[in-house]
Amino acid sequence: MRIPLCLLIATGMILFLATPRDSFAQETQPSADASTEPNEPAKAKPAPVTAPEPEEAPMPPLPAMEEGQLDPLPPPSDGPAPVPPGFREVTMNEASAAKPPLNVLDLHGYLRMRGDISNGLDLGLAKYPVTYPGADDRGVAYPQFPGSNSGRSDTLSSANLRFRLEPTINISEDVRIMGQIDILDNLVMGSTPDGYPANAYYPLVAFSQGQIPPTAGFNSTRNSIAVKRLWGEVMTPLGLLRFGRMPSHWGLGLLANDGGPAHYDAGPLVTRPDPLGQVGQCFDCDYGSTSDRILFATKLFGHYFVPMIDFTAEGPYFTQVNEYNGQPVDLDQLDDVNSYILAVFKRDKPEDIRHALEQDEYVFNYGAQLVYRNQALDAADYHSQQVGDPNSGATQSIGNYAVRNAEAFIPDFWMRFMWGKLRIEMEAVMVWGKIDHTNIGSNLDADGNLEPHAEEQLDMLQFGGVLQADYRVMNDQLILGLELGFASGDNSPGMGVRPFEEKQFSHTHGDHDVNNFRFNLDYHVDLILWRQIIGTVTDAMYFKPSLQYNIAEGLGAKISAIYSSAIYAASTRGKSSPLGLEFDVDFFYFSDDNFHAGVSYGMLIPFAGMQYLGEDMETGGIGDFNLDDDGDVAHRIMARLVLYF
């Protein structure tokens, strides 16, 4: 009798579907079920339907185990399973030495958008001049924050964009190339419309259809892409070699601040979800210290020793005309500015700090960085050019140079102590140096002789320091913070943030010193007074308590109060030391997928040091010449949206 083929197939399918899955898996793969005892006889395989075979005889029982004996091994199999195609057997040494494949390209960075609304940051004093008639050549008080161009509003607003890309090319586990590339860096939203500059198609900017890329010299002062840093790292048996254009950072960032990752964010804005995390950026930083540098770092006796050489400035260079790819040549060595640096420090990695704190151990890190910088001659005319043709360096002659004979010694000390929920961190720096001649332009004649108009020697002795402390309570939800800052001043008119615009020395009046220390522009203390109006902390001391509350993971708020006072009343516009009291509030959010959002508000109450004293520069009096005017309260709101990776 013939059985239809379709019936056989259907019967086979029914038998297959009716077979339990666990049983099917045990029949086709080696058993790994721990419930099967090793002394249990192997189960017989079901006989095929078409040709049943006689049942195998059961294995004889194994002898009983005496106490203390090991369980017997399972019965031997027919032999090892064959090696699947594409695989090979390896030794134990080969297996232990196997490592995951090297990731050739790592990408980090962020996309940031900021919105900014300010009201009254000119303190209502923009209508008054910043240079008083009748004052000496040091008469600039300080640049006032600009008011509205039309003068019809006290409110200014804008938004800007930046995409920062920080790639790492891993050539091997010990060799890599790193860089920093900014795309549309601080691009003002709404800038570079297709109607600017005016053209035949868009004669009025009001008819612009959108934006075109920023191009230096055409519709912007910068291009769309800026390669800011590029350096290489080689891990040798003796230590780390690093060379190229790289970030420069030390301590809390008081003097050298790379504008990037930091252990703690003590500014008015919270831009790090975890102060000891491995990934984080100063999302609100704009500058960043960058150095052309060669360094070698090695570790001895638990301390890092890092000698460095910085090519701070090289002066004129030269390439052959129309040889775009030719190698440029530095035309003189005497106009170079060189910095020789030695850093010695003990600093633990964030993961080691976290482990020590979890074990209720303290962490004490410290270090010192010593810098010596010098320059003999300055190609003053060359450096004053807005855009220099490399070949123009060949046109320099001795009559285009200025004698500087400048040198500076800069010791910078840093310390951090952590124990449990407490952190105390400080940095103190001194700048001691001199400049033989301060002429902006050249001061040598064609024969190399010093001209009579060469200015006299300028001396510098500057100090700056910061002390930070915070304590965490309520399971780290509440952070109590305190910061004290100090920057030495100069008993001369002006705050001196921009030394030659706010000139604090006068050889004609016998003032040959510039002693005001300036904080790095990316060391943020507040939102308004130091960051926007004056520019950075100098010639002042401030007291800053803060309170941060983490409502939930990644969500919280921070409030800061900053009282600021000048060291020298003569530096201020109002000839009084108290500068102001500012309140800053920040609300922040971090998601699990690297999205950050925040909004902050600042309010500055100006004190007597910010008022306008009239053209007589004296308090009180009658009439326009003696008019005194107090500064108005200033407000600022800043929002940010960030995607980081």
Q: Do the Cβ atoms of 584 and 268 come closer than 8 Å?
A: yes
pLDDT digits (tens, 9 = 90+) for 570-598: 888 888 999 999 999 999 999 999 999 99
Distance CA 334, CA 122 (A): 44
Q: Do the Cβ atoms of 424 and 454 come closer than 8 Å?
A: no
The size of the chain, in residues, is 645
pLDDT digits (tens, 9 = 90+) for 247-275: 999 999 999 999 876 667 788 999 888 87
Residue 86 confidence (pLDDT) above 70: no
Q: Is 224 part of a structural domain of the chain?
A: yes
Pairing of strands 329-330, 337-346: unpaired
Distance CA 538, CA 516 (A): 6
Phi and psi torsions of 128, nearest 5°: -100, 150
Mean pLDDT of the chain: 83
Q: Is 139 part of a structural domain of the chain?
A: yes
Q: Give the amino acid at 443.
A: N
> What integer pLDDT is reported at residue 56 of this predicted model?
53
> What integer pLDDT is reported at residue 42 of this predicted model?
40
Distance CA 101, CA 472 (A): 41
* 275-to-160, 233, 269, 476 alpha-carbon distances in Å: 26, 26, 13, 12
> What integer pLDDT is reported at residue 46 of this predicted model?
44
> What integer pLDDT is reported at residue 34 of this predicted model?
39
Distance CA 426, CA 424 (A): 7
Q: Is 374 part of a structural domain of the chain?
A: no
CB atoms within 10 A of CB 45: 9
Q: Is 253 part of a structural domain of the chain?
A: yes
Note the Cα 139 to chain centre separation in Å. 36
**Average pLDDT over every residue of 324-336:** 82
Q: Do the Cβ atoms of 580 and 529 come closer than 8 Å?
A: yes
pLDDT digits (tens, 9 = 90+) for 495-546: 888 887 778 888 888 889 999 999 999 999 999 999 999 999 999 999 999 9
> What integer pLDDT is reported at residue 189 of this predicted model?
93
Q: Is 421 part of a structural domain of the chain?
A: no
Which residues span the domain enclosing 284? 105-300+456-644
> What integer pLDDT is reported at residue 22 of this predicted model?
44
> What integer pLDDT is reported at residue 332 of this predicted model?
84
Distance CA 565, CA 541 (A): 6
CATH number of residue 226's parent domain: 2.40.160
**Average pLDDT over every residue of 25-35:** 37
> What integer pLDDT is reported at residue 491 of this predicted model?
87
pLDDT digits (tens, 9 = 90+) for 278-297: 555 788 999 999 999 999 99
What is the domain count for the chain? 1
What is the pTM (predicted TM-score) of this model? 0.82
Q: Is 528 part of a structural domain of the chain?
A: yes
Q: Is 99 part of a structural domain of the chain?
A: no
Q: Give the amino acid at 329.
A: V
Q: Do the Cβ atoms of 185 and 227 come closer than 8 Å?
A: no
Q: Is 34 part of a structural domain of the chain?
A: no
> What integer pLDDT is reported at residue 14 of this predicted model?
45
Q: Which of 4-13, 376-385, 439-448, 602-611 is most confident?
A: 602-611
Pairing of strands 175-188, 540-552: unpaired
CB atoms within 10 A of CB 427: 23
